[in-house]
Amino acid sequence: MQTSLRIEGANCPTCFNETLDALGRLDGVRSVRGSLAGPCIEVDHDVEIEVITGLIRDRLHGIEMFANEIRMVPLEPVEPSQPCAHQRG
C-alpha cells in the first residue's frame, strides 16, 4: 500500500531526514520519500498506518510562539485528498 501524509508545520530538515531514515528501517516499509516543501511524506508499506503516524508524531515537531517564547509543538500527520506531488515525472 502507498500512503501520502501531509506534515504541516515541519520545519527542521535534520529531524525530517532522521524521520525518513527511521521510517525506512521499520519492518514492512518498502520505501519512503518526502519533501519539506510539500510538506509531505510518502510511504510504500505493509505495516499498519498507525505505526507510521506514531513514529512521525514521536520524531517530528514544529515551532509556535507563545507570549514571546518559542516552543516545540507536536505535528499531526494527515492523509491528503491527493498524493504528494514531489519527485513525480
Hunting for cell 535534520 — which residue is that? Answer: 14
pLDDT, tens only, 31-88: 999 998 888 999 999 999 999 999 999 999 887 777 888 788 888 888 887 767 655 4
User: Which one has a higher pLDDT value, 73 or 19?
Assistant: 19
- Minimal CA–CA distance to 38: which of 73, 60, 5, 75? 5
30 contacts 44 by C-beta, under 8 angstroms = yes
User: What integer pLDDT is reported at residue 89 of this predicted model?
Assistant: 40
pTM beyond 0.85:
no
Give 23's pLDDT tier (boundaries 50, 70, 90): very high
Q: Is the distance from CB of 83 to CB of 9 less than 8 angstroms?
A: no
Query: Tell me, what CATH number does 11's domain have?
Result: 3.30.70.100
- The answer to whether residue 80 is domain-embedded is no
Do residues 75 and 53 make contact, with C-beta atoms less than 8 angstroms apart? no
- Joined together, the cell numbers standing for residue 64 give 509556535
Is 1 in contact with 44 (CB distance < 8 Å)? yes
In a domain, 64, yes or no: yes
Question: Considering the domain boundaries, does residue 82 fall inside one?
Answer: no
Q: Flag whether 28 is in a domain.
A: yes
